[in-house]
Structure 1
Amino acid sequence: MGNLTVIKVKSIKDAGRYSDGSGLLLVVKESGAKSWLLRAQANGKRRDIGLGTYPAVSLADARDAAAEARKQIRAGEDPVAAKRAAKKAAAVIPTFRVAAKTVHDEQKGDWINSKHQSQWINTLTTFAYPIIGDRPINRVTSADVLDVLKPIWQTKPETARRVLQRIGKVLDWGYSRGHCLGEAPMRSIRAGLPRQTKRPEHFESLPHKDVASLMAMLKASDTAGRLALRFLILTAARSGEVRGATWDEIGDGIWTVPAERMKAKKEHVVPLTAAAVAVLDTAKKLRKGVVGEPIFPGPSSHKPLSDMTLTKVLRTETKDKSTVHGFRSSFRDWAAECTSFPSEIAETALAHAIPDKVVAAYRRTNYLEKRRDMMNQWADYVAPSQSTV
């Protein structure tokens, strides 16, 4: 038991130093401010070690801190130097928010499109930052991640899974940079989450039997947005692939999308039907002669259309909830229901990765000629009168 008591510490008003014993002192200044000081011998030298101000540090806290400092001294450590080192280490350990921004910046070269790039950081901003954004990355625990995920795990299952994956990416970065020690907390996350009962949400698609009427309506005017949507439907390509297409990617009856613009990071060759070529011939009227200009230019001729432009075109012509990406499903449903083409031909046309790694390792063909036949039939189905336009 020390010499001081809680009541005595609180009541002391006169300036001076008041001993609790074993080197622990309460220092009272003329202003009335109070602080704790431990006077001890470390490595043969007297050290005065500050333990914090009162009342932020209580008498009990000061005694605990003094005991810990004495333990360090007995172990041959210098408490002051250790405290400075800890502060220095804490200063270089980023918060989760700072680490996430760093990871986001480092991945810029890997993004498929700007929309995905913004979604990556936006989901963390919305769901993770309010809970762990300002926490040092080495102090983010499994319980913290669960607190982020539980409110959306069942109501927004797809979003929740993406948030989980992105948090894991940031924490992995922290471990790889030496900011975090021990085992990453991600291993135990799944065990703390219930099974998701909500079915994954799919992109709403226009029934394939209704695509032809839409194509006829799109033909009413030749704006860049309408032409791009027609080309997207005819090629069953993704929005980003079409919007980013440039004239140097067009060859003799084929469109070669480079690997860096593909989701699977693998070059994709698309056979062009007469209807698709007709769209390109019309799009040539939009050319400004700028080097590397997109086939379907936005307001600035050297920049591609925005993703919202295609959505706006679609909303103008249809009042349902179908999406631009959903036309890939329209195509896939048509191929399955209305043709006898094998599944792998349709999947290759959609540039889907082969899930079976063994099959993928041995497949050498891209089925170009068979896909050409299939795309010609698709064009006849959705644009029977546009092949010569």
Structure 2
Amino acid sequence: MALEARADRETKSWLYRFNIGGKQYEMTLGASPAMGLRAARDAHGEAAKLVVKGIDPRKHRKAEKARNMSAWTMNEAFERWIDFYANSPGRRGSVPTPRTVMKQRGRWRVHLQEALGGAYVRDISRRDLIDVLERTAFSAREEARQCLTLLRYLFDYCESREQIDENPAAGLEPAKVRARPSRPRDRHLKLTELQELWLATGQERVRGESSGPTVTLTRPVANAIRMLILTGARRAEVAGMRWSEVVKDSWTIPTGRMKGGQAHRVHLSLQALEVLNEQRKLSTSEFVFESNREVSRPIHPDSITTAVVRLQGRERKEPDLDAPLYHLEHFTTHDLRRSVATLWTENFLADPMLVDAMLAHMPPKLVGTYNKGKRYKMQVEVWDRWGEVVGCHLEETGGANSV
């Protein structure tokens, strides 16, 4: 190794002269002083190892540079994969919904991008994945499990595109990264508890249009909660409900807004239609539950969740003992869906498969293949009877006109 200085250049160069096949060659290791002595020695050592193996270090450097230029960073890989994922039909033949794709983008941005995004795909190790997933699991175990699934798909895609030889996420189980799913929730509200929630959404303090201290939740959000109770639909389906989806007493949720990627028809009871009639007076856009803050935009699904939490007095660290539903056992927005399904089965003896169809749950593969009859007339009967039960209990407590 030598340091070359020339009169016509300000910088000096570290040179390495070597012999391969009886011929002498020369390569520049780097410029001094940008490359210090220690770095030059390290570069010389790596080049010398190649020469011992009969490899020309100059050609190796060019090949490595070309390899780097064709190699993907994790950010590049994710963008390629998410486009592929968004347009690839699943096992049921439908592509992921825009909402599902958006969730995957959110997981990448929130939990994975900072730690992995700038690295080359080929340089990511199993240990790297365990570290980032364990950090995620510390605050969100279910999200960590979902991130692990995302990474498996992403690295499978990279492996098929010859960016890596094998998937570092393959065989990595949730328990390994402390992302074992928690016990499934089984909380379901009794009819009297649903009645209390309904009445709480009609109290005077939800009537305001401002964001003053006496307002617990806006009227569109309160009515959205009532629609959840009456239909058993998911919060995102209700929050994004459009007037164009409603024809008489039928609400058809299009494929693009359904979790399972298939359009779903919901019958609207008289009580559900009353909710829509009130929203007709409040909404000036295509959305049934229009946001009070953003004109021509729907309420956000998280607004429904926040409202349910607020009604229970659990929005802040210090509980609000005066909240109308503080005395009830804690429940979540999704528990309402489970509650409705349970009451349909228990009160009306509705067949569980019928209830699953009403909730747009995907049936087992064989059932979905051979049983195409959804018995919609029977579903209509359950929805109508349910609306009557909800309305009847409100009348008994004098709450039917609280809205």
Q: TM-score range by the shorter chain?
A: 0.7 to 0.9
More displaced, 295-304 or 237-246? 295-304
Contact kept? 1:297, 1:305, Cα under 8 Å: yes
Contact kept? 2:250, 2:267, Cα under 8 Å: yes
2:352 matched residue in structure 1:
343
1:139 matched residue in structure 2:
123
Contact kept? 2:13, 2:29, Cα under 8 Å: no
- Cα distance in 2 for partners of 1:309, 1:195 equals 30
More displaced, 345-354 or 121-130? 121-130
Distance verdict in 2 for CA 1:194–1:66, change over 3 Å:
closer
Number of residue pairs aligned between Structure 1 and Structure 2:
353
- Cα distance in 2 for partners of 1:261, 1:205 equals 25
Distance verdict in 2 for CA 1:251–1:198, change over 3 Å:
closer
Contact kept? 1:36, 1:54, Cα under 8 Å: no
* Pairing partner for 1:67 from 38, 49, 60: 49
Please state whether the residue corresponding to 2:39 is helix, strand or coil. Answer: coil
Contact kept? 1:243, 1:296, Cα under 8 Å: yes
- Cα distance in 1 for partners of 2:98, 2:116 equals 27
Contact kept? 1:203, 1:325, Cα under 8 Å: no
Distance verdict in 2 for CA 1:88–1:236, change over 3 Å:
same
Contact kept? 2:227, 2:275, Cα under 8 Å: yes
Alignment pair present for 1:27 and 2:3: yes
Please state whether the residue corresponding to 2:241 is helix, strand or coil. Answer: coil
Deviations 1:195-244 (A, max 9, x none): 86663354865444311122133234482222222112111101111111
* Pairing partner for 1:57 from 39, 42, 49: 39
2:374 matched residue in structure 1:
366
Contact kept? 1:131, 1:147, Cα under 8 Å: no
Identity %: 22
- Cα distance in 2 for partners of 1:308, 1:190 equals 30
Contact kept? 2:291, 2:297, Cα under 8 Å: yes
2:164 matched residue in structure 1:
181
Contact kept? 2:17, 2:24, Cα under 8 Å: no
Distance verdict in 2 for CA 1:121–1:337, change over 3 Å:
same
Contact kept? 2:189, 2:335, Cα under 8 Å: yes
Structure 1 stretches of 5 or more lacking a match? 1-24
**In structure 2, what residue type is equivalent to 1:276?**
A
- Cα distance in 1 for partners of 2:14, 2:130 equals 39
1:200 matched residue in structure 2:
183
Alignment pair present for 1:383 and 2:391: yes
More displaced, 207-216 or 60-69? 60-69
**1:134, CA displacement in angstroms?**
2.6
Contact kept? 2:71, 2:120, Cα under 8 Å: yes
More displaced, 78-87 or 262-271? 78-87
Distance verdict in 2 for CA 1:208–1:65, change over 3 Å:
farther
- Cα distance in 1 for partners of 2:177, 2:131 equals 13
Alignment pair present for 1:128 and 2:107: no
2:68 matched residue in structure 1:
90
* Pairing partner for 2:334 from 325, 333, 342: 325
- Cα distance in 1 for partners of 2:146, 2:181 equals 15
Contact kept? 1:158, 1:200, Cα under 8 Å: no
Structure whose CA Rg is larger: 1
- Cα distance in 2 for partners of 1:123, 1:108 equals 15
- Cα distance in 1 for partners of 2:181, 2:302 equals 28
**1:276, CA displacement in angstroms?**
0.7
**1:72, CA displacement in angstroms?**
4.6
1:37 matched residue in structure 2:
16
Distance verdict in 2 for CA 1:361–1:106, change over 3 Å:
closer
Distance verdict in 2 for CA 1:203–1:123, change over 3 Å:
farther
RMSD: 3.4
**In structure 1, what residue type is equivalent to 2:391?**
A
Contact kept? 1:216, 1:383, Cα under 8 Å: no
**1:338, CA displacement in angstroms?**
2.7
- Cα distance in 2 for partners of 1:185, 1:304 equals 41
Relative to the length of structure 2, the TM-score reads: 0.75
**In structure 1, what residue type is equivalent to 2:165?**
G
Distance verdict in 2 for CA 1:150–1:334, change over 3 Å:
same
Relative to the length of structure 1, the TM-score reads: 0.77
**In structure 2, what residue type is equivalent to 1:134?**
G
- Cα distance in 2 for partners of 1:186, 1:255 equals 42
